[in-house]
Amino acid sequence: MIKDLSFKGDGVNSFLICRILHRYRFKNGKSMEFSLLQGYFYRMISQQPRVVFFQGEPGAYSDLAASRMLPGIPRQGFLQFSQAFEALLQETGPAAGVFPIENSIYGSVHPVFDLLQTYDFHITGEFRLRIEHCLLANSGASAETVKTVYSHPQALGQCEVFFRNHPSMKPVQWYDTAGSARYVSENPADLSIAAIASEEAARVYGLEVLKRNIESFDHNFTRFILIGKEAGIPAGSNKTSVWFEAKDEPGSLYHCIGCFASRNINLLKIESRPVWGKPWKHLFYLDIRGTVTDSSVQEALRQLTGFTEVQRVLGSYPEDQVKEGHGFSL
């Protein structure tokens, strides 16, 4: 039983403390629901984010992730990732951002990786959300009346089997899952259109759920990151994200990776992206096991400077231990 929870919280880091404690039991031995547990700890801190920014419309999966990560905090969505990042930069009060970084089927979300190289933000947490796609339409529509289905390109791709089994439905790309639901709701008399989005989006826009769980694979999860302006190492951290630009010389990437391998530091992810403003140059993003307070990680980062043009630690934070992803209950 945890008896002392004295800490200085900034709203973002308070979430991370909740993350490492979410498996503890409360109330006569019964597990408190995850979001309620977060709220319990939020009441113990002096400062919270005034707003959390995300990309998308209300009811988007990013909105759902933000509501679970920072319950009770006002949320504001934007059409583009860049607009949400800029809003976080310009916000003068305590604020946070929640953004998807990778999907278990479609891989990395490249716009977010690219923005991380241009904004001096810090990753302070992560959250795996189970993605459950629904076919949404106006009242009176049915699977037989629907001819056109709108959604984000990734959502359409994740429902490939569904479209194969319903050849009369034509998939059409839209900028956002919840945005496609909003578009359908703005045309209430049209029973030939539908959207693929979350069940929460159906509630937000007053649509009917024609079919649930139409994604092609059950193991469809998206990992979201929590970012903020302030650096810090939350309690319970066990994962670190870094990026670097390797020197343009033979074996440089090999030596960069060797800085971690030689110290038995587990490499969890590696991703390459073009360097903005430097044609044919690439940054490498790494997720590693451990934190910047570990002596082995400190040594590896010091050695890494000899093989890189530039490098930056994006943050150390607790890994989400729920491998199968959190669901979302209405």
Query: DSSP string of 142-206?
Result: -TTT--EEEE-HHHHHHTHHHHHH-TTPEEEE-S-HHHHHHHHHT-TT--SEEEEE-HHHHHHHT
Give the C-alpha distances (Å, rounded to integers) separating 241 from 61, 134, 231, 296: 23, 33, 13, 15
Q: Is 118 considered catalytic here?
A: no
Among residues 54, 78, 221, 222, the one annotated as catalytic is 222
Among residues 81, 224, 244, 284, the one annotated as catalytic is 224
Q: Give the integer Cα–Cα distance in Å for 303 and 318.
A: 25
Q: Is 224 considered catalytic here?
A: yes
- Give the SS3 label for residue 39: helix
Q: Give the integer Cα–Cα distance in Å for 103 and 222.
A: 4
290 beta partners: none
| Catalytic residue list | 222, 224
